[in-house]
Amino acid sequence: MKAIICKEFAPLEQLEYADMPDPVATGRQVVVKVEAAGVNYPDGLLVQGLYQSKPDRPFVPGMEAAGVVESIGPDVKNLKAGDRVATICQLGGYAEKVVVEENRIFPIGDMDAGDACALMVAYGTSHHALKQRAELKEGEVLVVLGAAGATGVAAIQIGKIMGARVIAVCSSDEKRQIALKSGADEAIGYDNLKDQLKEMTGGKGADVVYDVVGGEAFDACSRAMARNGRLLIIGFASGTIPQFPVNLALVKEYAVVGVFWGNFTRAEPEVYADNMKELIGWYQSGKVKPVVEGRYPLSDAADVLTRVLGRGATGKIVLEP
């Protein structure tokens, strides 16, 4: 089969599109013929050795995929060849086939494979962040940074389902229009962000900030939090990990909350499974709708990751073998 192979931590252009042996299912494993593999910001960090975890090399990146069950191991109980499924595979998604444990798979029926990929990591991250980490309440003000990206769109839609007033923050007019179409109540830029948020909330500040950007945007939001607010740390797309003056949390009485979705899926698998069931239900009822911006050949993985890391993507991007 064809796959994207990372032989050593290196710049993105050194990823290889090459042949490797087909996977074989044993025990409770399932081989999925991939229709779409989701592209995520951490994938680009991982292959350069810049992510929190550093897998043994060589490896195939790609933490989510959707497609058709091709074969099953002898101990698989609830799946059969021909079932359409999506999976959080951690690694291996950027390939024509991927082998995963049965408990990492969710049936998707006739759902679009690209949409299914978006629900896995982007919506999964935002759902966990707002539900378990922020405990977002109806009527609260939610500020979403990077709001036109895949996780940002997800945070907007989930925030609205949970009853929040959503203020989207984006870097361009085009991206702000995407945020508004995704359900945001208001969309603003990053200039004078602290003052804008204070003015828009009548001086109160934000109850919850969803921050995938870091850098100066984090600094601004850290000074525009409401009492009892929750400042969620999702990632650092700006490339700058900010330094937090802890006296702000003391005098303003708010919490800085880390969100590491991958760790959550491993530590609380039953809660994670319940989250995914809720997300799929929302999708089926039309409450959430991923924005799949582009679908590209698997061989274009390096170029696509370069664009994603450069913050040039809006919505979800998938690779199709």
User: 14-52 pLDDT, tens per residue?
Assistant: 999 999 999 999 999 999 999 999 999 899 999 999 988
262 confidence band (pLDDT: 50, 70, 90): confident
Q: What is the pLDDT of residue 79?
A: 96
Read off the pTM: 0.89
Three-state secondary structure call for residue 252? helix
Percent pLDDT > 90 in the chain is: 91
Percent pLDDT > 70 in the chain is: 100
Q: What is the pLDDT of residue 312?
A: 74
User: 232-258 pLDDT, tens per residue?
Assistant: 999 999 989 999 999 999 999 999 999
Q: What is the pLDDT of residue 183?
A: 97
Q: Which residues of 198-226 are buried (b: 16+ CB within 10 A; e: fewer)?
A: bebbeeebbbbbbbbbbbebbbbbbbbbb
Phi-psi group of 63: left, alpha or beta (phi > 0 → left; psi -120 to 50 → alpha; rest → beta): alpha
- The CA distance from 169 to 303, in Å, is 26
User: 61-80 pLDDT, tens per residue?
Assistant: 999 999 999 999 999 999 99
Comparing 118 with 206, the larger pLDDT belongs to 206
Q: What is the pLDDT of residue 293?
A: 87
User: 77-96 pLDDT, tens per residue?
Assistant: 999 999 999 999 989 999 99
Average pLDDT, the chain: 95
Q: No. of H helices and E strands in the chain? A: 11, 15
**Does residue 222 surpass a pLDDT of 90?**
yes
Question: What's phi and psi for 203, nearest 5 deg?
Answer: 90, -10
Q: What is the pLDDT of residue 315?
A: 83
Mean pLDDT across the stretch 194-223? Answer: 98
**Does residue 314 surpass a pLDDT of 90?**
no
Question: What's phi and psi for 144, nearest 5 deg?
Answer: -115, 115
Q: What is the pLDDT of residue 112?
A: 94
User: 273-285 pLDDT, tens per residue?
Assistant: 999 999 999 999 9
**Does residue 59 surpass a pLDDT of 80?**
yes
Q: What is the pLDDT of residue 311?
A: 76
Block residue for tokens 């977002």:
136
Mean pLDDT across the stretch 282-297? Answer: 94
Amino acid at 138: E
The dihedral formed by the CA atoms of 35, 107, 152 and 311, expressed in degrees to the nearest 10: -20
Q: What is the pLDDT of residue 44?
A: 95
Three-state secondary structure call for residue 56? coil
Both tokens of 317, joined, read 């991007």
Please report the DSSP string for 172-217 in residue order.
SHHHHHHHHHTT-SEEE-STTHHHHHHHHTTTS-EEEEEES--HHH
Mean pLDDT across the stretch 130-155? Answer: 97
Mean pLDDT across the stretch 293-304? Answer: 95
